[in-house]
Amino acid sequence: MRLIPVLVAMLGLVFLHTHTDEIPVVLGSVLTLSAVVSGMAPRNWLVNVVLLGSALPLVEILVRRHVLAAPWPVGPGFPWAALTGYVSAVIGVSIGSGARGAVAPSAAT
Confidence class for position 52, pLDDT limits 50, 70, 90: very high
Single pTM value for the model = 0.85
pLDDT digits (tens, 9 = 90+) for 65-106: 999 999 888 888 888 888 899 999 999 999 998 888 766 565
- Cα–Cα distance measured from residue 73 to residue 66, given in angstroms and rounded to the nearest whole number: 12
- Residue 23, domain extent: 3-103
What's the pLDDT score for residue 101? 76
* Residue 85 resides in a domain: yes
Question: Residue 92 has what pLDDT?
Answer: 94
Report yes or no on 16 lying in a domain: yes
Domains identified in the chain, total number: 1
d(CA 24, CA 18): 14
